[in-house]
Structure 1
């Protein structure tokens, strides 16, 4: 017996983990700085960690009341009805619920290139088809309604990432509104705001009070530091009140994630420190790297290393050459080849010490690698 042919499906390529790299190089994990996966440089919300400890003995129970409590807390924080919050195991889980609700076999989604691979993966899992629109490096990856509309052909769901990973650019609320206005009535515009806490722009949540064709994706992975618990949610139009219960899986978010999320929502001090640290590091990367960078609203910076030529056997582009060289020197950054940006690396904002070390190492690598 064989599974269905999935050879045409793309594979999500995560940033390399510290244990994986340390084993490969035969070194102590503590000797590395990991700035490849946009994780929180300060760790997890201390309030969330305390909540996990306090509730660990209760994991023999299904997360019934905790899910309800968390949904209500999120809804209150955004001034939404509880029915508008679709709690999920990570932002990717929320995408699955959305596609269950929105897609019939053969429906299309429109996704950015470069962009998060799971938009397309989830759509295909739910028997949808995928089209793409391109963000141009030559235009500083500018995100406008026109860029999307030039590729739009009546797709059922259109994805926008603001701030966009890996490039950092943002789409203003006015442009999202125009995009929704100029697409078909049966097209949903989804704005992925996974990195929005690090931006100085306001959330697109205001559009939910005005329209029924916009939804917003959020996560606890970044600003709250709960990536390992897999906790996210979708904010949806109020008219979708009964849909979530029909597409959700039973007790989809585990008890400890719910308890941690509840605690993290109130940990304003940690979020403030996280955002301030990320913004400082972002500015430091822009100012001190010896390579062109792109403006970013997230907790990362995209770096153009096209001036560096591959120097090792099997290396196909500048991004992989620089990423490999920095890794050997103890700093793990993201080679952006899998995003279709082979001449770029992405550096997550770290602590002050980590960020300064990353800049020192990357600049040293850029000085040593022969120019293309």
Structure 2
């Protein structure tokens, strides 16, 4: 007996962890810093950590009350109806729910390339096809409606994914362009704006298009994705959500996995959502780290509004491997179709400075000649 044909499916390549690398290299984990998975360098919200400990004694019960309480809290945060909030086991789970609600067999989703692999993976799980539109490195991964519409097929594309900020480049798309895209696509096409890194960006949420705020008309063809993994530091508990138009919000009850967000995740989310100090500190750290890396890395670093930067290093595999050997784990972006680039997560001040020093030393020692493009002038890294 064999499973169904999975030849079109690809495995998700996650960033490597400290324990994994330390075992492989037979080294002490304390020698390494991980800047590969866009995790929060300050850890979880302290309030969430307390809530997790306190929730431990209640995990024998299903999280019905906690699920309802968190749904209400998120709805209040965005000033939407509770029914518009679709809690899930991470942002990935929310993607699954949208595909369950929207896709018929052989419908297609249109996704950015490069981009988050799970958009296409989830669509295929739900018997949908996957088509791509290009975000060009030569254009600094600029996002606008034209880049999408050039590849859009009104007869096939049921969902169009936008990532703002985009992973791995950090570019964003203006809300006016999202609105134009929604206007110029079919009434039966849903525009999903993935705002997993939204807290780090100096842009308003596309929720304005769902609710008709800030001068936009309300729409029933736009949804957003958010996560507690990044700014709130809860990647390990797996908690995310979608915010959808009110007109079809009740579909959640028909497509969600029962109790998909666990008791611990819901209690952690309830505590974290009010921990504004932790989020502000995290966002400030990311902004400082982005600026530092752009100024002092001896290679082209793209502008980013996420908690990471993309760096042109010429040979990503070689540079990432050598940086890892020297104790700094970064993301080789070959799996994104960018074999000349690495992605470096924004760490603490100390971690970021170590990453810059290590990257520059590796580039010099390997005699790598990256395509610098319009790179900023190299600067001497200050002593710390």
TM-score bin, normalised by smaller chain: over 0.9
What's 1:289 paired with? 297
1:313 matched residue in structure 2:
none
Kindly report the root-mean-square deviation, in angstroms, between the aligned alpha carbons of the 2 structures: 0.6
Tell me whether 1:323 sits opposite 2:320 in the alignment.
yes
- Structure 1 runs not aligned, ≥5 long: 307-317
In structure 2, the partner of 1:221 is 229
In the TM superposition, 1:222-301 aligns within 5 A as 222-301=230-309
* Residue 344 of structure 1 pairs with residue 344 of structure 2: no
1:134-177: CA deviation from partner (whole Å, max 9, x where unpaired): 00000000000000000101210000000000011000101011
| Residues 248-292 of structure 1: per-residue CA shift (max 9 Å, x gap) | 111111000000000000001100100001110011010000000
Counterpart of 1:358 in structure 2 is 355
Secondary structure at the counterpart of residue 138 of structure 2: helix
Superposed, 1:1-372 pairs within 5 Å as 1-154=1-154, 155-209=157-211, 210-306=218-314, 318-371=315-368
Query: 1: distance between equivalents of 2:126 and 2:298?
Result: 44
- Give the drift of 1:203: 1.0
Match of 1:312 in 2: none
CA distance in 2, matches of 1:106, 1:28: 49
Q: How far apart are the structure 1 equivalents of 2:259 and 2:353? A: 43
1:8 Cα deviation after fit: 2.1
Distance of 2:84 and 2:368 partners within structure 1: 52
Which structure 1 residue ranges, 4+ long, deviate > 2 Å from structure 2? none
Q: Give a deviation string over 1:265-322, Cα, whole Å, max 9, x none.
A: 000110010000111001101000000011101000000012xxxxxxxxxxx00010
1:206-258 Cα deviation digits (max 9, x unpaired): 00111000000000000000000000000000001320000011111100000
Q: Distance in 1 between matches of 2:127 and 2:293?
A: 41
- Report SS of the residue matched to 1:16: coil
Partner SS, residue 137 of structure 1: coil
Deviation digits for residues 54-75 of structure 1, max 9, x if unmatched? 1110001100000000000000
Matched pairs, number:
361
Normalising by structure 2, we get a TM-score of 0.93
Residue aligned with 2:330, SS = strand
What is the rounded CA distance, in whole Å, between the counterparts of 2:55 and 2:21 in structure 1? 33
TM-score by length of 1: 0.96
Q: Secondary structure at the match of 1:169?
A: coil
Unpaired runs of 5+ residues, structure 2, are: 212-217, 370-384
Q: Alpha-carbon deviations, 1:98-117, whole Å to 9, x = none?
A: 00000000001000000000
Report the 3-state secondary structure (helix = DSSP H, G, I; strand = E; otherwise coil) of the residue aligned with 1:361: helix
**DSSP 3-state at the match of 1:160:** strand
- Alpha-carbon distance between aligned partners in 1 of 2:258 and 2:364, rounded to the nearest angstrom: 54
Q: In structure 2, what is the Cα distance between the partners aligned to 1:332 and 1:241? A: 41
Q: Secondary structure at the match of 1:23?
A: helix
